[in-house]
Amino acid sequence: MAKPKIAIFDFACCEGCQLQIVNLEEEILSLLGVADVVEWREAMSEKSDEYDIAIIEGSITRMEDEERLKRIRGCAKVLIALGACAMTGGVNKLKNNFEDFEEVKKCVYGKAAGKPHLRTAVTKAVGEVVQVDYAVPGCPIDGKEFTYIVRSLLMGKKPEIPDYPVCVECKANGNPCLWQYDQVCLGPIIRAGCGARCPSNGFRCFGCRGYVDNPNVDAAKDVINRFGLNLDDLKTKMVLFGSKQEPTIYE
Amino acid sequence: MSNRTVNINVHHVARIEGHGNIVLNATNGKIEKLQWQVPEAPRAAGPVD
């Protein structure tokens, strides 16, 4: 039986999620035993329009990128969104909070803001342009979760991504709650699967894996009240990876 | 030196982090165009408070 063909493409992102794949090193070799990588600009020179699985990194910020993404979708049987930028739009969606993009560009790029290569449109997650079959959460992704998802697909199984909050893994690690240390941690409403890496190292969860399904925002508000913190504090912390996404917190 | 035209157009240089193109046009040994292009999609993330 012919090995499935995989192609990896990048759009607007820092390409750190691809680096996580490169950093798998020996594990990549075992993946290559069961699949052929036919295009992956960050790691190889070859190109191909014939692939079964397309892995997309980055968000979509230009019209020409939408067209490119649609062409890729047309070639692939399965499409995987890789990392926060592809899955939710990620940090790139911050600019969608502003109506005047020219002002945003001036703020970010200064005098170069008017250059033609800095043309930009509303940021979209990959799933807002084409159908996404599976997603690897995180900023950056976790290499082991990536290999688990790809292996599952190659074996014909549906990968199971946790649908419970980071707090579950954080408690299992025996960590004291960072809310007790005045940190506005997003653990109660963000999808687990990272092993609560950030709070386990003393830094609040800042939501890179996106919201769990049906996040309990009311419980998060209760926590805020219990610790005498401000609702605006929580909303501000949700902007980095949660811009223009559910859940919206109303007063 | 032979009379010949060389056009090199590397669209998205491979094996680097970040997007770069290399364009080189030369005729009879004389470089007419040499560009290093950065066609990366802008992120323009903007400020966060």
Q: What does the pLDDT look like over A84-107, one tens digit per residue?
A: 999 999 999 988 988 888 888 888
Look at residue B10 and tell me if it is in a domain.
yes
Residue A244 pLDDT grade (very low, low, confident, very high; cuts 50, 70, 90): confident
Q: Is B25 part of a structural domain of the chain?
A: yes
Residue of B nearest to A92 (CA): B45
Contact residues of A toward B, CB < 8 A = 10-13, 15, 18-19, 41-45, 58, 60-62, 65, 91-92, 94-95, 97-98, 101, 104-105, 107-109, 117-120, 236, 239-240
Work out the average pLDDT over A209-229.
84
Residue B25: pLDDT band with limits 50, 70, 90: very high
B15–A44 C-beta distance less than 8 A: yes
Q: How far is CA A82 from CA A125, A141, A251, B8, B14, in A?
A: 11, 7, 33, 32, 19
Is the pLDDT score of B46 beyond 50? no
Contact B40 A65 (CB under 8 A): no
Q: Is the pLDDT of residue A82 over 70?
A: yes
* Nearest-by-Cβ selection for B15 from A45, A58, A94: A45
Q: Is residue B19 part of a domain?
A: yes
Task: Note whether A120 contacts B40, CB cutoff 8 Å.
Answer: no
DSSP helix/strand/coil, A4: coil
Using the predicted structure, report yes or no on whether residue A226 has a pLDDT greater than 90.
no
Q: Is B32 domain-assigned? A: yes
Provide ipTM, 2 decimals: 0.77
Range of the domain at B9: 5-37
Residue A198 three-state SS = helix
Closest CA to A96 of B46, B1, B8: B46
Chain A positions in Cβ-Cβ contact with residue B14 (cut-off 8 Å): 41-45
B49 within some domain: no
**Confidence band (pLDDT; 50, 70, 90) for A195?**
very high
Contacts (Cβ under 8 Å, ≥6 apart) of A197 = none
Q: Give, for A3, the enclosing helix (H) or strand (E).
A: none
What domains can be seen in chain A, in order of their start residue? Answer: 5-154 (3.40.50.700), 166-242 (no CATH)
| Contact status, residue A79 vs residue A56, Cβ threshold 8 Å | yes
pLDDT exceeds cutoff 90 at A247: no
Indicate the number of domains in chain B.
1
Higher pLDDT, A192 or A182: A192
In a domain, B48, yes or no: no
